[in-house]
């Protein structure tokens, strides 16, 4: 049977610091690559189901991060941590290990180190298909077309273009960049997040900023964003709340957007074949038709653009509290994936209060009135 060598890159981090709550630079640390054994990724097809379009994986390896006395340094200047650089640090660190994560309502990922094999279910993370599954250097994807599943298959060796793109997509690096990349953060303290020691980072916006989420009018954005970063630089959790306040004459209701992100496991992953790849009725699935010599399905493209290509999605409520937007994936015959990360999330305490920011009136240049949030 085939064996897949899981490649583990050296974890390259910025300079260290002496305490988990600090960001002061220290001499550059030397990181020894973590050895990960070769692992069987598929079981004999004789024991597999004949109605499945992709083989099932073998046991996933364990790649537990080694303990760190000093936490990885956080990128930025002084006490300000750059969101884009933090997302990049997160992606580099997490890709060295197996992991399971949930990105808001954008999807769930179970991955081996370096994305050597993985399973993905959801919409919006940037994978471009509701179901994607890689094993034995082959990438399988499923989409829907008029109620029928469309199967596509791609090469997925270590140098395959799809592999190169998905390395950053699956860790949530691109998703996080789109969500928090334009903001700066500061360390507000330390805490335990789902049993892991973390640094608590909060955004540095103390005043609202102008945004145009609706083409009809601008809005004032009040941000309340908290990140939980472990000693390795992995963003273990995100609580990101955007409150949009429109002018009283626009006729557009105010809304609140809540987005969450959780890396529930680092070091292990329940790698599995998504159930959608197995159908009891052969007519429910067909193979994708190549277009101009290329596969019809594009995998792991840039997140820039419309939602569904990697833009973070979350829970949106209007001023009246009604659920205005709860993204879900497209239903398919016999299997409808649920939107991950939208239920059972417990809000944690804030480490400092910004109530004064939400209570004060705001006068914005170029406007002829004072708005109240």
Positive or negative, the Cα torsion across 49, 132, 110, 240?
negative
pLDDT at 273 exceeding the cut of 80? yes
pLDDT at 83 exceeding the cut of 90? yes
Cβ-based neighbour number of residue 353 at 10 Å: 8
pLDDT tens-digit readout, 169-227: 999 999 999 999 999 999 999 999 999 999 999 999 999 999 998 889 999 999 999 99
Task: Give the CA angle between residues 139, 140, 145 to the nearest 5°.
Answer: 145
Question: With DSSP H G I counted as helix, E B as strand and the rest as coil, what are the percentages for the chain, rounded to 5?
Answer: 15, 35, 55
Tell me the percentage of the chain whose pLDDT exceeds 90: 51
Indicate the pLDDT class of residue 271, thresholds 50, 70 and 90. very high
* Mean pLDDT, all residues of the chain: 75
pLDDT at 297: 40
pLDDT tens-digit readout, 108-142: 999 999 999 999 999 989 999 999 999 999 999 99
Q: How far apart are CA 106 and CA 174, in angstroms?
A: 12
Cβ-based neighbour number of residue 169 at 10 Å: 26
Q: Which of 54, 123, 44 lies closest to 274 in space, CA to CA?
A: 54
Tokens read off for 161: 């273009």
Q: How far apart are CA 158 and CA 164, in angstroms?
A: 8
Residue with tokens 């060598």: 5
What's the count of helices (H) and strands (E) in the chain, helices before strands? 4, 21
Q: What residue ranges do the domains of the chain occupy? A: 3-371
Answer whether 238's CB lies under 8 Å from 226's CB. Answer: yes
Angle between helical axes of 173-180 and 83-94 (0-180°, round to 10): 170
Tell me the pairing of strands 285-287 and 148-155: parallel
Q: How far apart are CA 199 and CA 232, in angstroms?
A: 11
pLDDT at 43: 53
pLDDT tens-digit readout, 44-57: 444 467 789 999 89
pLDDT tens-digit readout, 279-327: 888 788 889 875 444 444 434 433 333 344 456 767 767 665 443 333 3
pLDDT at 366: 38
pLDDT at 54: 92
Highest mean pLDDT among 34-38, 57-61, 69-73: 69-73
Cut 0.85: pTM above it: no
Q: How far apart are CA 329 and CA 142, in angstroms?
A: 12
């Amino acid at each position: 049977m085939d064996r897949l060598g899981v490649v583990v890159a050296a974890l390259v981090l910025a300079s260290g610091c002496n305490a988990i709550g600090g960001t002061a630079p220290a001499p550059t640390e030397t990181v020894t690559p973590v050895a990960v054994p070769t692992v069987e990724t598929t079981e004999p097809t004789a024991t597999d189901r004949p109605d499945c379009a992709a083989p099932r994986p073998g046991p996933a390896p364990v790649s537990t991060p080694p303990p760190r006395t000093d936490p990885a340094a956080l990128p930025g200047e002084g006490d300000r941590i750059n969101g884009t650089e933090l997302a990049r640090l997160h992606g580099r660190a997490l890709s060295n290990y197996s992991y399971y994560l949930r990105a808001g309502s954008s999807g769930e990922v179970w991955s081996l180190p370096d994305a050597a094999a993985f399973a993905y279910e959801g919409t919006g993370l940037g994978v471009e298909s509701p179901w994607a599954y890689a094993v034995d250097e082959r990438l399988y994807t499923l989409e829907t077309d008029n109620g029928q599943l469309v199967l596509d298959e791609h090469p997925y060796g270590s140098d395959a273009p799809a592999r190169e793109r998905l390395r950053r997509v699956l860790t949530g690096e691109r998703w996080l960049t789109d969500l928090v990349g334009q903001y700066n953060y500061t360390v507000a303290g330390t805490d335990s997040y789902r049993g892991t020691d973390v640094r608590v980072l909060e955004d540095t916006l103390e005043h609202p900023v102008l945004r145009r989420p609706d083409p009809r009018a601008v809005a004032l954005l009040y941000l309340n964003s908290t990140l939980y970063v472990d000693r390795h630089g992995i963003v273990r959790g995100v609580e990101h709340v955007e409150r949009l306040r429109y002018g009283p004459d626009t006729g557009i209701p105010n809304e609140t957007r809540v987005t969450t992100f959780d890396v529930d496991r680092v070091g292990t992953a329940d790698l599995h074949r998504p159930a959608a790849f197995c159908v009891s009725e052969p007519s429910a699935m067909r193979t994708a038709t190549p277009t101009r010599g290329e596969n019809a399905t594009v995998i792991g493209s840039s997140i820039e653009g419309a939602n569904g290509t990697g833009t973070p999605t979350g829970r949106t409520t209007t001023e009246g509290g009604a659920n205005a937007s709860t993204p879900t994936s497209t239903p398919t015959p016999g299997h409808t994936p649920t939107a991950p990360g939208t239920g059972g999330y417990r809000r944690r305490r804030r480490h400092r209060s910004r109530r004064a920011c939400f209570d004060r009136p705001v006068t914005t240049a170029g406007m002829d009135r004072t708005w109240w949030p």
